């Protein structure tokens, strides 16, 4: 039971981290070319939490879609 819980948490953390990374690269493409300037801008403005909040919102939508698809497929599975 604990191993299953650990694997689920690990999987969800990987999905959240990938969501954070993809959204960050989509919105702030300058991170690839010059990450230090982006970090300086972020430090000056003091907006550290917004990437995590936006990623959590997108992750929540993805989670709802995944669970809905799992539910629908479980209905049609043969027992």
The per-residue pLDDT for 71 is 94
The per-residue pLDDT for 30 is 83
**pLDDT beyond 70 at 79:** no
Beta carbons of 68 and 36 less than 8 angstroms apart: no
Q: In this predicted model, what pLDDT tens digit does every residue of 33-78 receive, in sequence order? A: 888 888 888 888 887 888 899 999 999 999 999 999 999 999 988 7
pTM: 0.80
Provide CB contacts within 8 A for 31, sequence distance 6+. 24, 25, 38
- Helix (H, G, I), strand (E, B), or coil: what is residue 68? helix
The per-residue pLDDT for 1 is 77
């Amino acid at each position: 039971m604990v191993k299953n819980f650990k694997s689920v948490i690990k999987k969800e953390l990987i999905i959240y981290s990938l969501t954070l990374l993809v959204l960050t690269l989509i919105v702030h493409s300058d991170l690839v070319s010059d990450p230090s300037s982006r970090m300086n801008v972020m430090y000056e403005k003091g907006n550290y939490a917004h990437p995590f909040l936006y990623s959590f919102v997108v992750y929540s939508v993805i989670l709802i879609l995944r669970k809905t698809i799992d539910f629908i497929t479980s209905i049609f599975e043969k027992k």
